[in-house]
A = this chain, B = another copy of it.
Amino acid sequence: MDFNADLQARVCAVEEVIKKYLPKEEGFQKSLLEAMNYSFLAGGKRLRPLLMRECYRMFGGRGEVIEPFMAAQEMIHTYSLVHDDLPAMDNDLYRRGRKTTHAVYGEAMAILAGDGLLNLAFETACRAFSLGGQASERETKRERGAERIGGAMTILAKKAGISGMIGGQAVDVEAEKRKLRLDGEKLLFIHEHKTAALIQSAMMIGAYLAGADKESVAKMEKAGYAIGIAFQIQDDILDITSTLEELGKPVGSDEKNDKLTYVSVYGLERSKQDVEKLSREALEILRDVPERNEFLEELVVSLINRKK
Contact = CB atoms under 8 A, between A and B. Distances in A.
A181 interface: no
The number of times this chain is found in the oligomer is 2
Nearest to A129: B150
A119 B123 CA distance: 12
Interface string A75-118: 00001000100111100000000000000001111011011101
B116 A118 contact: no
A29 B168 CA distance: 7
Given A122-B122, A126-B153, 5 more contacts: A88-B106, A112-B169, A115-B115, A126-B150, A129-B150
A170 interface: yes
Which residue among A83, A87, A150 has the maximum number of chain B CB atoms within 10 Å of its CB? A150
Contact of A161 (B106, B119, B146, B166): B119
Given A140-B140, A154-B126, A86 B112 contact: no
Contact of A143 (B28, B116, B119, B144): B144
Given A111-B89, A162-B116, A151 B123 contact: no
A157 B31 contact: no
Contacts of A32: 162, 166-167, 170-171, 174
Contact of A119 (B88, B126, B162): B162
A162 B36 contact: yes
13 contacts: A29-B167, A29-B171, A29-B193, A31-B174, A83-B115, A86-B111, A111-B111, A115-B166, A118-B118, A123-B158, A129-B153, A143-B144, A149-B150
Which residue among A120, A123, A144, A167 has the maximum number of chain B CB atoms within 10 Å of its CB? A123
A160 B119 contact: yes
A189 interface: yes
